[in-house]
Chain A
Amino acid sequence: MSSIATETNLDIQKIRADFPILSQKVNGKPLVYFDNAATTQKPKQVINAITQYYEGYNANIHRGLHSLAEKATTAFEATRTTFQQFINAAESEEVIFTKGTTDSINLVATAYGRKFIQPGDEILVSGMEHHSNIVPWQMLCEEKGAILKVIPVHKDGAISIDEVKELITEKTKMVSVVFASNSLGTVNPVKEIAQLAHQAGAVMMIDGAQAASHCKVDVQDLDCDFFATSGHKMYGPTGSGILYGKRAILEKMNPYQGGGEMIKDVSFKKTTYNDIPYKFEAGTPNIADIVALKAAVEYINALGKENIVRHENEITAHAHKRLAEVPGINFYGTTENKVSVVSFTLDNVHPYDAGMMLDAKGIAVRTGHHCTQPLMDHFGIEGTIRASFSVYNTKEEIDFLAESLKDIVSKFS
């Protein structure tokens, strides 16, 4: 693929060279990876960090006195500080390591929800939530006799702040909304929603799975109480994620899981719990991947998130323009303010067929309901074809997608 000119100062070909997986062929064709909303590929800086950890200083953290343990602990805690700065948390203790966004939301639903949600309380989510920001709250509601309320999604894939105002009442105790939709790309006004939630005395959680690498995230400016994200959607390893929580709230929460690390003193009579963040980090964590998560944050910082976002916006606009040429295409999620996700259906072509035929051409997209079945029901469709872009994607790749879709559609007409 020839080098591309973008309005940003990023050298995309140089960036592509950082991602070893991108140079391979799939089904005999050069890989075009457009499934970044599911997981991004990893630069060699991240891969090397994992290798270096296992080859150089693998040890259990926080407890050992020996040199390797010390080195591993330092690296592990360095990721916490790096991530604190990345999301502008006030203190590093407000960053809790988890397996990912799903784990983070479950942590809040369990450790906050079980303690503070009462029968008749209302929990508010939006209609475009991922199952992981629906099901933990449903489980909590069932257990507590609380009520799950849903902010409706409009035709363009956006929600209305006026409707949020109407839905937040004195009964609302928790509002949990996705920053950027994985199915549609819609960016929600989470800062305004947090304000409304706080005015009503509710706690605000943001599902930032898609946002961390595509949106500016400043948890103090957003004034959210909780923010969850996954390392693997921001060039980091799978199984690494964080939960940000405000200190005051984290301190009054119950622990999540019991075990080593999360305790201060254990006796058979009574156990006292450790301070935050360790209170929520029972057991040996995923040290290698969390250590490597730092390399992912540094990778984003080195490129400059605003540069990444500019490039992604540019190619997403290009995708909307080129894909609009495909006969019988219908877009889902057409609001102005969106991340690099283009979701669509094709008249007469089932998403499964389209996905398999694109794969045969070496193009990886996601097809189906994207773990947002209620949203698909709302639009009256079984699923969509979703192309989601990252910093290493090019306009040429998008042109190839457009031409491939035209070819596929022609086979069904």
Chain B
Amino acid sequence: MISGRTLAQGANCESKMSEDFFKAASSCYLSKEDYDLLGLSDGKNILLKNEFGKTVFSPRVDDGLRRGIVFIPMGPWANILIGPDTGGCGTPQFKGVEIDLEATNSPIQDIRELFGSIKRAEA
């Protein structure tokens, strides 16, 4: 999995609580072959998971991707799958992350649901 900037994500990165940002950043792009192989054509969502976490995305075909690589716009959905290790240089590895994926009927969490589950300490 690689994560990065897209035009739609960037144009809404200062309106993160908006529906437009939700649509832009909770999508997962994959090759047509992987899309078909996972049986995603009938409106299913896609569940991505690894040792760091799991979350549901809306699948989209990107013809520029090769089999075995998925692209997710940078943001809180993608970052559920990123580990904390910085390799001694301060920067987590946001790209080249191994993940498992499967089709699912589960819904995508919206941004408030995504953060509602985080336990906050009272100051």
Q: Does A pair with B?
A: no
